[in-house]
Chain A
Amino acid sequence: MSRKLLLDKLEIAGIETFAVYRANGGYASVEKALKMAPNDVVEEVKKSGLRGRGGAGFPTGLKWSFIDKKSGRPRYLVVNADESEPGTFKDRFLMEKLPHLLIEGIVTSSFALEANLSFIYIRGEFRWIIKILEKAIAEAKAAGLVGRNILGTGYNLEIVVQTGAGAYICGEETALIESLEGKRGNPRIKPPFPAVSGLYNNPTVVNNVESIATVPWIINNSGDEYAKIGTPKSAGTKLISACGNINNPGVFEIELGLPVEEFIFSPTFCGGIKDGKRMKAVVAGGSSVPILPSGLILKTTNGEPRLMSYESLSDGGFLTGTMLGSGGFIVYDEDQCIVRNTWNFTRFYHHESCGQCSPCREGTGWMERILHNIENGHGKMTDIDLLWDVQRKIEGNTICPLGDAAAWPVAAAIRHFRDEFEWHVREPKECLVRNYGLAESAVASSSLQD
């Protein structure tokens, strides 16, 4: 279950350079796609079953098919490289190690969309990666694979690296478009969706880095072959960035459908819990997805092994399940305080709220203050119900999903660790939650650990 489609050439020395990448079969998908009709390229991606790797999991080919090609207006592909979801650092890895894979994916995807100008919107903090990408684009351009008359086919494409400036909200596609237009990153009301009216009010597709980097494999090997990998509803492989209290933090490519237990405890992946401690909880897909106690992340309520896939992780809805999200996998050991972690995440969402919608702007700050009080021993028992009430009033009541992203971690923490919140209120001077509640939720070890 460690099949590699994106990272298969990672170990080749110099693979970040154009010469080595090209000598190892790089840009073959461009050669192939440019001999096809653009709509046939879209069809291959549709057949592959690829779902957007940024977090929402919307089918990529379907998204492409919404683009309005008949109006004759310019079309744009915008690659979302504004990676800022706590727990997620896989796009950074991909761009740093395999920049030409992304550029190849952009050329192939832009051709499918009949776009002549594409942007990589990258978070401004990744300054060294911006240089890597600009160098890769220049190399590809010098070789006739970007720019005018690509491979003599008459197809033209310019790629621009656009720098953000530190705003998590710009990971949301319409906020990203606003930012790319030189404005505050305030999300737009949808509809219209970007495929109809996006960048400069023209048809636009916004895709995550990993999604676009997957396109070359699909075109080289066919959508049908890609669909055979993984599970029926979660095709292909996925990059997972694993962090927290584990022995091997890092970025792993997994075949979707890998058992969660194997991912956490196998030496091939996370390598088990650090310092021989017990596992308490996991956030499986970036900070915005619901946290699950150990028992529920390893097994569904039916007692079946939980798998690393869209459908298995969400089994049971938010009552007993979570989401694959962006693949930001955070593991907590028995010493971690869920109240403190929830307060930390809520502070993040308060800081990153764009301020457009009252429920998000005011609600995230309200939750942060309540959680800060509980964490610091000044909470009341009624605060827990108030917290529940505030998060309920944020969820679903904002222009963009940041409100949901702020509400879900709070809801899940109360749902699965309410006793820990109550302990903080009852015993304000002791954070004995460190070991509290483990009897039900923690796992001591796994046969896969050694």
Chain B
Amino acid sequence: MLAIRTGQKVEFSEATLQKVTEIINRYPEGKQKSALLPLLHLAQDEFGGWLSVEAMDYVGRLLHIQPIEVYEVATFYSMYNMKPVGRFLLEVCQTGPCMIRGAEKLVSQLEQKLNIKKGETTSDGLFTLKTVECLAACGYAPMLQCGEHYHEFLDTEEKVDQLLGELRKRAQVNN
């Protein structure tokens, strides 16, 4: 299954709709499809970190393009999640330079500490662990991305514990 239908209606907030208008107006007249990737990012951010069929259809309606034009793009790019993810998506870079500086060890430490395998989400819905290809942080390896942040030089167990602790604390504060 490439995408999930939830049966729920989705709609951007007023503030996001204003941003949508600004983005669409950046492009020359008639070239508004260029806004597709940025709008899919907005949809993913606003609708829980992933793209349901409803979210993609909604973006298609905003741009006056066919649903298939959205699906083929959303499924091509690795940053768009086609199924629900945890509150913190931990994306560990596993490509060459990170591998030789300990990325595999970092993945196994995270699997052990979170009690999940890569690709899975913890039972409390807090963490999803994923491996990704090169994130352009080769000199600061091993590393992972979580949301907007790059966490680099994760070469000791203590640093991994500290990061997970901080994320758990952040989740408690925001609850």
Q: Which residues from chain A sit less than 8 Å from chain B, CB to CB?
A: 74, 83-89, 91-92, 117, 123-128, 158, 160, 162-168, 179-185, 200, 241-245, 249-251, 283, 287, 328, 330, 332, 336, 340-341, 344-345, 348, 351-352, 354
Is the CB–CB distance between B96 and A166 below 8 Å?
A: no
Closest to B148 in A: A127
Contact of A241 among B79, B133, B139 (CB under 8 A): B139
Closest to A163 in B: B38
Is the CB–CB distance between B135 and A125 below 8 Å?
A: yes
Q: A residues within 8 A CB of B94?
A: 344
Q: B residues within 8 A CB of A83?
A: 136
User: In the bound complex, what is the Cα–Cα distance between A57 and B58 (angstroms)?
Assistant: 42
Q: A residues within 8 A CB of B27?
A: 160
Q: How far is the CB of B113 from chain A (nearest CB, A)?
A: 24
Is the CB–CB distance between A162 and B28 below 8 Å?
A: no
List 10 tightest A-B contacts by C-beta distance, closest first.
A165-B77, A249-B139, A182-B36, A182-B33, A166-B78, A166-B79, A243-B138, A243-B139, A127-B148, A184-B76
Is the CB–CB distance between B138 and A164 below 8 Å?
A: no
Q: A residues within 8 A CB of B148?
A: 127-128
Contact of B28 among A117, A167, A244, A340 (CB under 8 A): A117
Mark the stretch among B8-16, B97-105, B115-123, B161-169 that contacts chain A.
B97-105
Contact of A182 among B37, B101, B138 (CB under 8 A): B37
Q: B residues within 8 A CB of A249?
A: 138-140
Q: B residues within 8 A CB of A86?
A: 95-97, 133-134, 138
Is the CB–CB distance between A88 and B78 below 8 Å?
A: no
Is the CB–CB distance between B99 and A344 below 8 Å?
A: yes
Is the CB–CB distance between A165 and B80 below 8 Å?
A: yes
Q: B residues within 8 A CB of A182?
A: 33-37, 63, 65, 69, 73
Q: How far is the CB of B102 from chain A (nearest CB, A)?
A: 11
Closest to A342 in B: B96
Contact of A163 among B37, B78, B97, B147 (CB under 8 A): B37
Q: B residues within 8 A CB of A283?
A: 96
Closest to A351 in B: B133
Closest to B44 in A: A165
Q: Mark B115-152, 1 if CB is under 8 A from A, else 0.
A: 00000000000000000111111111100010111000
Q: A residues within 8 A CB of B26?
A: 158, 160
| B interface size (C-beta, 8 A) | 43
Known: A164-B37, A182-B69, A330-B100. 6 other contacts (CB 8 A): A84-B133, A88-B138, A166-B80, A182-B35, A185-B76, A243-B101
The yes or no answer to B72 lying at the interface (CB within 8 A) is yes
User: In the bound complex, what is the Cα–Cα distance between A406 and B68 (angstroms)?
Assistant: 30
User: In the bound complex, what is the Cα–Cα distance between A91 and B136 (angstroms)?
Assistant: 9
User: In the bound complex, what is the Cα–Cα distance between A266 and B59 (angstroms)?
Assistant: 53
Q: How far is the CB of A325 from chain B (nearest CB, A)?
A: 14
User: In the bound complex, what is the Cα–Cα distance between A332 and B94 (angstroms)?
Assistant: 16
The yes or no answer to B41 lying at the interface (CB within 8 A) is yes
Is the CB–CB distance between B99 and A341 below 8 Å?
A: yes
Is the CB–CB distance between A165 and B78 below 8 Å?
A: yes
The yes or no answer to B170 lying at the interface (CB within 8 A) is no
Q: Which residues from chain B sit less than 8 Å from chain A, CB to CB?
A: 26-28, 31, 33-38, 40-41, 63, 65, 69, 72-73, 76-80, 94-97, 99-101, 132-141, 145, 147-149
> What are 20 inter-chain pairs, A to B, with CB distance below 8 A?
A84-B134, A84-B136, A89-B136, A89-B138, A89-B140, A91-B136, A125-B135, A160-B26, A160-B27, A165-B41, A179-B37, A180-B34, A182-B63, A185-B77, A241-B138, A243-B97, A330-B96, A344-B94, A348-B134, A351-B133
Closest to B134 in A: A86
Q: B residues within 8 A CB of A352?
A: 133
Q: A residues within 8 A CB of B99?
A: 340-341, 344
User: Given the known A-B contacts A127-B148, A250-B139, are A332 and B73 also in contact in the complex, defined by CB atoms under 8 Å?
Assistant: no
Is the CB–CB distance between A200 and B96 below 8 Å?
A: no
Is the CB–CB distance between A336 and B134 below 8 Å?
A: no
Closest to B37 in A: A165
Q: B residues within 8 A CB of A158?
A: 26
User: Given the known A-B contacts A117-B28, A163-B38, A168-B133, are A125 and B79 also in contact in the complex, defined by CB atoms under 8 Å?
Assistant: yes
**Of B34, B37, B99, B137, most A-chain CB atoms within 10 Å:** B37
Q: A residues within 8 A CB of B140?
A: 89, 249
Contact of A244 among B31, B41, B101 (CB under 8 A): B101
Closest to B91 in A: A125
Is the CB–CB distance between A242 and B77 below 8 Å?
A: no
User: In the bound complex, what is the Cα–Cα distance between A88 and B34 (angstroms)?
Assistant: 27
**Of B26, B65, B94, most A-chain CB atoms within 10 Å:** B26
Closest to B149 in A: A128
Is the CB–CB distance between B97 and A330 below 8 Å?
A: yes
Q: A residues within 8 A CB of B141?
A: 243
Closest to B26 in A: A160
Q: A residues within 8 A CB of B34?
A: 162, 180-182
Q: B residues within 8 A CB of A168?
A: 133-134
Q: How far is the CB of B50 from chain A (nearest CB, A)?
A: 13
User: In the bound complex, what is the Cα–Cα distance between A182 and B26 (angstroms)?
Assistant: 13
Q: A residues within 8 A CB of B139?
A: 89, 241-243, 249-251
Q: B residues within 8 A CB of A243?
A: 97, 101, 138-139, 141
